[in-house]
Structure 1
Amino acid sequence: PKPVFFEMLTRCHGVAAVLIPVLAWRIKSSEVQARKRATVEALGTLAAGLAHELNNPAAAVARAAQELAPALEGLTRTAQAWGAAATGAERSVFDRLAEELDKLPPPATTDPFAQADAEEEIADWAEEAGTERPGLLGSGISDLGLELGWLLERLEGVGEPALPAALDHLAALLEIRSLAAELRAAGPRISQLVAATRDYANLDRAPEQRFAVADGIENTLVVLRSKLAGIAIVREYEPELPELTGYPSELNQVWTNLVDNAAEAMEGAGTLTLRVRAEGVCLVVEIADTGRGIPGDSLPRIFEPFYTTKDVGKGTGLGLHLSYRIVTQRHHGSITARSRPGETRMVVRLPLTTAAACAETPDEPLSDSPTTS
């Protein structure tokens, strides 16, 4: 029984001398296992986020590559037909049209209903003119924010016998340019994701280094983009922030835990506010959400190991504990939490130099209404 056990420890000091090292070893072992588990979970989050984000640009590249060969064949065929049917003056008209299309900026705003109406009107007119692919021409012109009147004005000077060949060639040209635009957009997107993942994991870099905290937060947002769908993100980064000396990959794990918790608390709808500012000898990072909040009786315990407010199977109670250790022990900073329904704020203070100290300071009171963008 518990009382007898404590009495035994009081009377028999040798028992305590044996038990205390065993308990200390078990605590250390649990913390090591927790860190390993958190690392595996972080890798899983990274892999899942990267796979989700790469899916769209990779699919766009694959689709464009698959359609490029038949599109090039169509362009060659329509070019030959247009060259045979057109006069020198008509070819000059078409060349001016193609040159103008090259210089057109993307539409500033897009009205789906107006675009659909323009596409249908152009397709109907092109079909009456005898073109083979009226739908392709209609979608290509309307995607640029143009209407039938614009096209008719530019095609003045092309005679009726050569008009079908001109429209077929124009449709093929617009298709090729659309596929090229998809490849131009998807390629850099893939490169950006790979670069963000490399920076997030800090591959091929020394563990301790000078780095910009805001960059790590941005890379974390890229990795967690799929979980942040539907959530408004507000950034309040102080300009010309000083760099920090520390362990960026470990701090990225902290940002991942905090942002992931905020996203889960908001359940796909709300506002995530990220603030970074210099405050004396410290760099202060605030991550605020408009979620359901942390219960008052749980707030003092959220950094304890194996304590979680999530449902069974959804949380291990390790994320915030490891975040606390990374901030306080590895970077000699502090991490605090303030919460109420509709607004939760996690505040991380990190010393800018090894000689500085960033102890916990009283937080500003929470506002009377949730943060909005």
Structure 2
Amino acid sequence: MEFQMLLHKPLLRTLRMMRERLSCRSSLRFRLTSPVKAASVMVLVAATMCIGSPAYCQSMKHVLVLHSYHKGLTWTDSEDSGIRSALRKRAADVEVHTEYLDSKTIFDDEHCRKLFALLKHKYASIPLDAVIVTDDDAYNFYLKHHEALFPSAPVVFCGVNYYKDSQREGREDLVTGVVEAFDIQATLRAALQLHRRTSRIIVINDRTTTGLANKKIIAEKVVPLFSGKVIFEFFEDLTMDELLEKVGSLPPDDIILLMTFNKDRAGRVFNYDRSIALIAGKSVSPIFGVWDFYLDKGIVGGMLTSGVDQGRTAAELALRILDGEKVRSIPVVKESPNRFKFDYRQMQRFGIRTSDLPPGSVILNQPVSFYAQHKVLVWGTVSGFLGLTVIILLLLVNIRQRKRAEEVIYRLNEELEQRVKDRTAQLETTNTELQLTSQNLDSAFQELKSAQSQILQQEKMASIGQLAAGVAHEINNPMAFIISNLNSLRKYSDKVTDFINLQSGAIEELSNNADVRRIVEELEAQKKSLKLGYVLKDMGYLIDESLDGAERVKKIVQDLKTFSRLDETEFKMSDINQGLESTINIVWNDIKYKAALKKEYGNIPETACNAGQLNQVFMNILLNAAHAIEAQGEIAVTTSCDDAKIYITISDTGTGIPPDKLNRIFEPFYTTKEVGKGTGLGLSIAYDIIKKHNGEIRVESEVGKGTVFTVIVPIVDEKR
């Protein structure tokens, strides 16, 4: 019985391994029915393998991978994946054993004693050729117990944050590895470059051993580098509920630097995925990190340390040791293979452009363009269109040449008849266009009258005199030459009619009278007397000029309709740039003689608002700016936006407003103008309108230099 147990326990692991190898090589199948049979088969198999392949028994290497944390933790799984990716190519002669300390769940003295006993018992009969440890807890555990557990096995570490060269002194033949040197400074520089308005950085960190070490590094080495630029605030020693409440109250302009929050003040443990999911779900501020296991989970990105790269580098160093290279000759890799990585979906959320990222950045979840996916199809389609275009052009040239030849032939036979038809058609077209012009003018006058009536009611008679004068001036000019041209056209039409009547009579007489020469001479004399050639030529100019005048009247009326929509009481999605442009056209007569107008419209979104009321605000500010300029000056209009608001700035180089009057300009009936030149209601009404839009209006002024009004309105979706 003792013999059976002695054979069974030490050899059971090796028996399973041999069974797998034999089944793979020769499809041998056998079954263990008792410890005695198991031992017998083991002896036979071992003897056969040693006799048949002595090199196999001697060359098999054993590597222990000792993880600090537990299986399923994203960081640990990524390190393990990197290790196995490097060792997989040596699967034939390297067997990998994996253990987890689970230190994030429990790591007290009792737990460490039990781990020590388990590992000592488990690996007493397995000759380890190398040990790969991940992160600080496993590394420190190895350094403390290696003489008792793994006396001759060298260690390769990875994921160790705060390595010092002194830790290798006296252990040069035993210790090497790769340092987890995360780069917080590079992450924060990139974050501040992408969010230039940020003045505060929130550091989320727990009170674990790693968390305390992280805080020390940040306080001593990171905070001084950004002194005077931003302030740092630490969210730590909190329960998860307290942390989420504080994160949810942060403004969008803050930046969050997420280190680790795996254990809260109440002792609850959160893995990395759960921690980032909870924090990202509450945050409206951009989150940056230094580890790639947070990427695609809620952080924007940063200079990220990769667990896969750490594990792979450590495994490659271990293979060098297994191949006979001395540990002393393998230096510790102190430069962690970090790189800038960003999540495209988070970039879209916070308005970050790809061109603003640091050079060489890796972008996750970036959509592939249609051109990149279908390059051949795109170029094939373009080539096809170009070929068709060439064919169409050649056909058009051919058709045009044939038409010209036909026109020459027909022109010789029917030239006189064609000219009469053309002139008759021209007169009919002119009459039709004149009727349409008259109808358009009537409609324009009706629309202008309605728009002026609405402006009178909306402005409460505050500025109707100036607006009416400007509109009248702008309309009178085109109307003057339209009326003049129409009178001339009436006279020309009479002359052409007389000539055509005369010509018709002459043709009729020609058919009955043989004296053709006399009739032709009379026709030519009458044609010169009526100046018919000049009349026909001038009619075209008059028609073009009349149409241009009508278009100008139509544009003025359209701008009046856009400017004042007093029949609209509900907020609708509107383009503020378009409203500004229409308002400027309306008050242009008051501006153009006194100031040069500079416009810089930004790419701003539409917002739900009362466009007519906002246009009234812009009109009051623009008219005040024009009145403030005594001689020749400049008025500038600019628009811009951020994530939540639209900014409209109107500045002038006028006389400015004295400081003692500046704080009263929004009071009803208060005006800085002379008596009779202002009602004092314009800016008061403008202030009320902006408040109804949940916005604000700011003013800065300096006497002798000018005034700047800034109107701020929120970006509102109509669905809200």
Give the TM-score of the pair, scaled to structure 2: 0.31
Query: Residue 333 of structure 1 contacts residue 349 of structure 1 at CA under 8 Å; is this kept in 2?
Result: yes
Judge conservation of contact 1:75–1:169 (CA < 8 Å) in 2: yes
**Alpha-carbon spacing, 1:204–1:307, altered in 2? closer, same or farther (3 Å):** closer
| Equivalent residue number for residue 197 of structure 1 | 560
| Conserved? CA contact 1:68–1:176, under 8 Å | yes
| Deviation string, structure 1 residues 100-131 (Cα, Å, up to 9, x no partner) | xxxxxxxxxxxxxxxxxxxxxxxxxxxxxxxx
Alignment partner of 2:707 out of 336, 344, 348: 344
| 1:213 and 2:634 are equivalent in the alignment | no
In structure 2, how many angstroms separate the alpha carbons of the residues matched to 1:345 and 1:222? 21
**CA offsets 1:149-191 (integer angstroms, 9 cap, x no match):** xxxxxxxxxxxx99x959x555333321221111110111111
Give the root-mean-square deviation of aligned CA atoms. 3.2
Which residue of structure 2 lines up, in the alignment, with residue 361 of structure 1? none
Distance (whole Å) between structure 2 residues aligned to residue 180 and residue 46 of structure 1: 30
Match of 1:235 among 599, 617, 623: 599
Residues of 2 paired with 1:245 and 1:46: CA distance? 27
Partner of 2:634: 271
The alpha carbon displacement at 1:289 in A equals 1.0
Partner Cα separation in structure 2 for residue 187 and residue 206 of structure 1? 31
Report the residue type matching 2:625 in the other structure: A
Give runs of ≥4 in structure 1 deviating > 6 Å. 76-82
Shift of 1:205: 4.0
Normalising to structure 1: TM-score of the pair?
Answer: 0.57
Match of 1:262?
625
Per-residue deviation at 1:42? 4.8
Q: Shift in Å at residue 267 of structure 1?
A: 3.4
Kindly indicate whether the alpha-carbon contact (under 8 Å) linking 2:628 and 2:654 is maintained by their aligned counterparts in 1.
yes
**Unmatched runs of 5 consecutive residues or more in structure 1:** 1-34, 83-160, 356-373
1:130-169 map, 5 Å: 168-169=531-532
CA drift of 1:213 comes to 0.9
Task: Return closer, same or farther for 1:320/1:204 CA change in 2, 3 Å cut-off.
Answer: closer
Which of 314, 327, 340 in structure 1 is aligned with 2:677?
Answer: 314
Offset at residue 346 of structure 1 (A): 0.6
Aligned to 2:294: none
Establish whether residue 51 from structure 1 lines up as the match of residue 437 from structure 2: no
In the other structure, the counterpart of 2:188 is none
Return the letter of the residue paired with 2:677. Answer: K
Residue 269 (structure 1) shift? 2.3
**CA displacement at 1:74 relative to structure 2:** 4.6
The residue number in structure 2 matching 1:224 is 587
Any idea what SS the aligned residue of 1:179 has? Answer: helix
Q: How far has the Cα of 1:206 moved from its partner?
A: 4.8
Question: Is 1:324 equivalent to 2:324 in the alignment?
Answer: no
Taking the aligned partners of 1:77 and 1:245, their CA distance within structure 2 comes to 62
Please state whether the residue corresponding to 1:252 is helix, strand or coil. Answer: helix
Partner of 1:290: 653
**Alignment match, 2:481:** 60
Measured in 2, the distance between the counterparts of 1:214 and 1:175 equals 41
Once the two structures are superposed, what CA deviation does each residue of 1:303-344 show, in whole Å capped at 9, x if it has no partner? 2223221112222322112211111x2111111111222332
Alpha-carbon distance in structure 1 between the residues aligned to 2:643 and 2:457: 35
Residues 78 and 228 (structure 1), Cα distance of their counterparts in 2 relative to 1, 3 Å cut: farther
SS at match of 1:234: strand
Q: Distance in 1 between matches of 2:566 and 2:672?
A: 33
Asked if the contact 2:568/2:610 (under 8 Å) is kept, the reply is no
Residue type of the partner of 1:53?
E
SS of 1:345's partner is strand
Q: Secondary structure at the match of 1:190?
A: helix
Does 1 or 2 have the higher relative contact order (CA < 8 Å, sep 6+)?
Answer: 1
Aligned partners of 1:315, 1:264: CA distance in 2, in Å? Answer: 11
Percent identity of paired positions between Structure 1 and Structure 2: 33
CA contact (8 A) 1:79 1:169 kept: no
Report how far residue 50 of structure 1 moved. 2.7
Question: What amino acid maps onto 1:52 in structure 2?
Answer: H
SS of the residue corresponding to residue 686 of structure 2 reads: helix
Is the Cα–Cα contact under 8 Å of residues 217 and 255 in structure 1 kept in the other structure?
A: yes
Q: What is the deviation of 1:73?
A: 4.1
Distance 1:185 1:43, change over 3 A: same
- Partner amino acid, structure 2, of 1:215: Q
Contact 2:458–2:566 under 8 Å retained in 1:
no
- In the TM superposition, what whole-angstrom CA distance separates every residue of 1:269-294 from its partner, at most 9, and x where no partner exists? 22111101113311110111111111
How has the CA–CA distance of structure 1 residues 39 and 268 changed in structure 2, closer, same or farther, with 3 Å as cutoff? farther
Picking from 476, 491, 505, the partner of 1:70 is 491
SS in 2 for 1:297: helix
Distance (Å, rounded) in 1 between the aligned partners of 2:630 and 2:540? 40
Letter of the structure 2 residue corresponding to residue 50 of structure 1: V
Please give the alpha-carbon distance, in whole angstroms, between the structure 1 residues aligned to 2:565 and 2:624: 23
C-alpha displacement at 1:43, in angstroms? 5.0
Q: Distance in 2 between matches of 1:313 and 1:217?
A: 28
Separation (CA, whole Å) in 2 of partners of 1:272 and 1:79: 58
Q: Are residue 333 (structure 1) and residue 707 (structure 2) matched?
A: no
- Report matched runs for 1:76-87 at 5 Å: none
Alpha-carbon distance between aligned partners in 2 of 1:264 and 1:191, rounded to the nearest angstrom: 28
Task: Flag the 1:170–1:36 CA change in 2: closer, same or farther, 3 A.
Answer: closer
Contact 1:81 1:165 in 2 (8 A): no
- Kindly indicate whether the alpha-carbon contact (under 8 Å) linking 1:262 and 1:288 is maintained by their aligned counterparts in 2: yes
Are the aligned partners of 2:620 and 2:682 in contact in 1 as well (CA < 8 Å)? Answer: yes
Structure 2 residues not aligned, in runs of 5+:
1-455, 504-523
1:179 corresponds, among 536, 539, 542, to 542
Kindly state the Cα deviation for residue 248 of structure 1 after the two structures are TM-superposed.
1.2
- Distance verdict in 2 for CA 1:283–1:243, change over 3 Å: same
Is the contact between residue 564 and residue 616 of structure 2 (CA under 8 Å) also seen in structure 1? no
Q: Shift of residue 201 of structure 1?
A: 1.5
Residue identity in the other structure for 1:316: T
SS in 1 for 2:669: coil
Q: Number of aligned pairs?
A: 241
